[in-house]
Structure 1
Amino acid sequence: MSDNNVTENAQTMADALKSVETVHIGDTVKGEVLAVEDKQLIVGIEGTGVEGVVPLKELSTQPIDDIRTVANVGDKLDLVVISTIGKDKENGQYLLSKRRLEAQKVWKEIQAKFDAGETITAPVTSVVKGGLVVNAGVRGFVPASMVADHFVEDLSQYKGQELEFKIIEIEPSENRLILSHRAIVEAGKAEARKEIFAKIQPGDTVEGKVARLTNFGAFVDLGGVDGLVHVSEIAFDHVDKPSDVLKVGQDVKVKVLSVDPDRDRISLSIKQTLPQPWDDIEEKAPAGSVLDGTVKRLTNFGAFVEVFPGVEGLVHISQISHEHIATPQDVLKEGQAVQVKVLSVDPDAHRLALSIKALTEAPEGASEDRPRSNNNNRGGRGGNSSDRPRRNNNRQSHTQIPAEYQQDDSGFSMGDLLGDALKDFKTDNK
């Protein structure tokens, strides 16, 4: 071999070695797919004469079920050198990644959106301790406190959902991307709040969806703003817990009770959209009918008995028993189930006059207490008023009668309702 040939071969080998040395970790290279295997690609790095390997997990930022759906022999790919395999570089032992090159582009795009104050949309891929993991082209993390504008006990409901996020923190060098969905929810509600508070008025009847349940009431979503239905405004009958009668996600009709834009509060009522308890009361409780009821309140002058949800009638003390009783508490207690007979009905005044003793037989020889007529004979039941203990003139709370019963057209005069208290008052002021 001539000296010239030896020189040329040496030069060719030197050039080849030089080209191999130009491949460094972090370089972006062009690779031609030479072979497709189940878990990796074999590629030739153009301009180097060496080969590299692209593992399946380094092919894309998205999950891949079949490697042949993303690459075929002859395809040319943009790749980044991430490491060497062994020491024999001449046999092309480079580990390459297409995913990381894509990620670099994604980081640049996310950085640009962050700088511009824009949001991103990405699917939630998994739920981990402390928050959510999302695939934004790169891995993003949403702390549990930034998922919603209220506490969420079970975050698994978000898995698979595609949500909008505000970029809170970005650090590509550490693969750190912190996102917030709560910020999006709050911004949306702030805009909806302006619209709703501008048009909603007390007295309006609107539709909403039960958003949350608490021990004291239900929060109803009116389309971006939650209003509170206090437990006392859920139904006409007593409700122990809102969860006994309502469910999250349930559609409800509500009446607006009050609106307070300064405090972002809307008070609502469900029961005021329902048929009123006293509607058709003359048909439900005609005079002479017998009803089942529950003693709700006891006073000195009688017992209030609930016969329908939200409908109470008065059993005057003289209508409790055929025998004389000093106070209703002597024979009745709150919560007791009783049967009553309707004596009279006044739908306009929302008043029912009831009787318990009318459903029982009078003992033989018993002297019944009859309702006193509204006349000047106000001596009360038998006995000399002077024999009764004198009472303090200032103690009048026990003589206060509900307004709806302060009339005499039900058969009960003020004297009947006040009973002995009126006699004592007269005695004390002789």
Structure 2
Amino acid sequence: GQPSALEMKHLLANLFFALLPPSRHTVNRHVVIRCSAPPPIPSVDVKALTVGTIVAGRVLGVGEDGSYELDIGTGSPATMPRSESALLPNATRGRVPGQGYADLSAGEVREALVVGVAGSQVNVSVARAQRALAWRRVESLHRADVSYNATVIALADAGATVEVERLPGFVPWSHWQLPEAAWADRKALLGSRLPVKFLEVDAGRNRMVVSHRRHAVQQRLDELSPGRLVSGRVAKLVPFGAVVRLADGLEGLLHVSQVSRLYVQNVSEVLTRGEELTCVVLKVDLADGSLALSTKMLESRPGEMLDDRAALLARSSQIEGRVELRQ
């Protein structure tokens, strides 16, 4: 029969608390409802169900075919493959990323997404319901532009994969500012926590790109404001300038046009990899966490960086506060 008003009140209250959004430093969790005296699942007209509908389902057990059976209030148990019972960031089944296995106990109530309706038979997926909710949380975090403590779950040549709300996010190596010593043994980073900020979130394309660099820069805005002096080593030479790595691993670009007030055609003729440099912060881009650096702002005369660098660097070490930026 229909549940009483009191039973409906208990069920809705449990659903409300289970779906409260997490804090920015959440410990990721499954949406599980446990009641000492569980109310019945509200009755649902199976004819009103369509693919994509979110329903509450109580686990009844495992059927003869190995699938879970859930009471979703239609009068007939809904079925769910065991591979659809959890959202896992590094598991993929078919074309939808994230489906994985979990041991569900009889009596557990979980949200499930309807993936198929044929007469009275309904197929559901807990993983896809969790995935839809996770994307909504990530989109909310992205809009709020907060930092999130992600977990490193995989490493590749181009970057690392991290877990954000049980979804996979990609961190390009250029956006993970590692200290020099950490590059030698990057495998030790697996399982570690990494604070990141979002660069791109696109649920429709299953795409999430995050940046540790954005987080690191925003934590150091006072010391990285324009005109401040920073010290580091030349990590890489590129056709358009030099990448300077600071002591904590944060990197900035010294553009070839910012090396000296005299024209420099090829930065490799002026700088060498591993060379120590003192630079002036020219600009901080909060959108991607990039740093623009300059040495020409330290010159007392055009070309000093080219023909008397030792004197320039010695004088720079005595500077306190900010350098006035010139055009």
Bigger radius of gyration: 1
